[in-house]
Amino acid sequence: MTLNLTNIKTEIENSIRSADILTITQRGVTTSTDTGTFSSADTHTLGTNPTLVKNVRSVTRGTLLTYGEDYTVNFVTGVISFTTTQDGSYTIIYDQGSGDSIYTDFPRDDLNISSYPRIAIDFSGIPTDAFGIGGTDLISSPRIAMVIYADNVNNIDAYTQSIKDHMKTNAKSFFYLRYIKLTFIGPIIESPGRSAEIMHRNLDYEIMFQTH
């Protein structure tokens, strides 16, 4: 699979948000259901607060459609684009809201304790080498860091287990990455510059066999 940084981060973010690692109450979002009938539809705008969509949990049109392969989501406009034209009844389940607690960036230092728990997702490095003799192609093993922020050890341990289980189950199920594996679980440490009660832990992942 060709390396696309934005697509990879967005797909992982959508997956972690949809996995209920943090509850919708903790995230500050509402789960909505969009139903109807498609007629030669190439795109579809979500019915409730489309510009506030945070993640799409599922798209069903006869059968469950696959993120990336069957459809993509513009998370700015709330428009779903289909790979092939869709006809028939559909059900789309998604979360929407003005904010979230799971992002592909890191929380500001000035957030108060009520803004936690949070999960940050980002690349921590992208080791790259030549792929083949010609030197025109590259192969990479991007590293992803997921950082859990919370106010007590038990919660961090619970979120760690939930992320670990979810990513193991879905290690080969993503569209924009071939395979992802856990490489390291860090210690729980105080989070410098934040509220004294906030601690964090890293989960480090390696994405395998990304060519570009």
* Domain 5-23+100-211 bears CATH identifier 3.30.2000.30: yes
Q: What is the pLDDT of residues 136-154, one digit of tens each?
A: 778 889 999 999 999 999 9
pLDDT for 158 beyond 90: yes
Q: What is the pLDDT of residue 134?
A: 65
Do the Cβ atoms of 212 and 141 come closer than 8 Å? no
Q: 193: pLDDT confidence band, cut at 50, 70 and 90?
A: low
Write the burial class of residue 206 (CB in 10 Å: 0-12 exposed, 13-18 middle, 19+ buried): middle
Q: 118: pLDDT confidence band, cut at 50, 70 and 90?
A: very high
Write the burial class of residue 196 (CB in 10 Å: 0-12 exposed, 13-18 middle, 19+ buried): exposed
Q: What is the pLDDT of residue 117?
A: 96
Query: Among the residues of the chain, which ranges form H helices?
Result: 5-18, 24-27, 153-169
Q: 135: pLDDT confidence band, cut at 50, 70 and 90?
A: low
| Residue 137, number of CB atoms within 10 A of its CB | 11
Please give the Cα distance from 4 to 118 (Å, whole number). Answer: 25
Q: What is the pLDDT of residue 1?
A: 64
Domain segments of the chain as ranges: 5-23+100-211, 29-96
Q: DSSP character for 67?
A: B
Question: Which phi and psi (to 5°) does residue 38 adopt?
Answer: -80, 145
pLDDT mean over 98-121: 91
Q: What is the pLDDT of residues 23-77, one digit of tens each?
A: 999 999 999 999 999 999 999 999 999 999 999 999 999 999 999 999 999 999 9
Q: What is the pLDDT of residues 173-191, one digit of tens each?
A: 999 999 999 999 999 998 7
| Count of alpha carbons within 13 angstroms of residue 78, beta-carbon side | 18
pTM for the model: 0.93
Question: Which phi and psi (to 5°) does residue 16 adopt?
Answer: -65, -40
